[in-house]
Amino acid sequence: MCNKKFCCEKLEAFYRTDNGISLNFRIVKYIGSFREKMLLLNPKINDKGFIITSGYDKSVNDLETTRMVINYCPFCNQKLSDFYKSDDYVQETIG
């Protein structure tokens, strides 16, 4: 994880934050039936999601997790799907 490049230092800090601690940035990969349903809605949709959470215990996709899906970095305005293409950044899968 040390060799990964990030769009900006501020977002990197939220990426490295533990799940249960304050705000964090998560990169998730959509797989399986969840991904298939997404493709029905939009065949060109990305297979990764970019999520800001207020911290969580189980999963970023748990119903009790407060989260917001984002497309652009809130600090540098980088389009996240253009920058984080590699699966090496993925922290969780949602299927």
- For the chain, the domain total comes to 1
How many helices and strands, by DSSP H and E, does the chain display? 3, 4
Residue 54 belongs to a domain: yes
Residue 50 belongs to a domain: yes
Express each pLDDT in 36-85 by its tens digit. Answer: 998 998 888 899 999 999 989 888 988 899 999 999 999 999 999 999 99
Residue 4 belongs to a domain: no
User: What is the Cα–Cα distance from 85 to 64, expressed in whole angstroms?
Assistant: 28
Domain range for 34: 9-94
pTM above 0.75, yes or no: yes
